[in-house]
Amino acid sequence: MKKCYLDSNLLVYLKNESSPHHVKSATIISTLVKKETSIFISPLTIDEYLHSFQREMRYYKHTNIFPTLKSTLDDILHIPLLTIINIPADYNDQLKIVELMEKFSLHSRDAYHLQIMLKNTIDFFATFDTDFKKVFAAKILRNP
């Protein structure tokens, strides 16, 4: 079975129906589910989603921010075949983050996402983030 890790930006676009990337995000999720792909996120993904979506709602003067955050997160957590996986926590995994940052010119958070995928043998990564170009070029990960 294929495995795909979702980036927080895909989730933000999925829940923001006025985003120019909304339809593409919904299509990606729908396709993954139809193909019975195992879908993964981490607490780091959820943290980034909540931070970004809250910031976006405040920018547009949205009211009822916290009920909306709770509702949209609940929707995300009910995506079929979705599993929440944890960040690798041992000593060597933490040192590996710096190596990944250097090798692929990643920010620390992105290196953590990559390490999560590597430790869980996840080959596919659904993202709109261009910071992973070197990772995709090295064929370590693929877009779904």
Q: What is the pLDDT of residue 136?
A: 84
Residue 82: its H or E element? strand 82-84
Q: What is the CATH number of domain 1-143?
A: 3.40.50.1010
Report the amino acid identity of residue 3.
Answer: K
Each domain of the chain, given as residue ranges in start order, spans 1-143
Question: Alpha-carbon distance 139 to 50, whole Å?
Answer: 30
Q: Given pLDDT bands bounded at 50, 70 and 90, which one contains residue 95?
A: very high
What are the tens digits of pLDDT across the range 42-58? 999 999 999 999 999 99
What are the tens digits of pLDDT across the range 57-81? 999 898 899 999 999 999 999 999 9
- Two tokens at 116? 């999560």
Beta bridge partners of residue 5, listed in sequence order: 40, 125
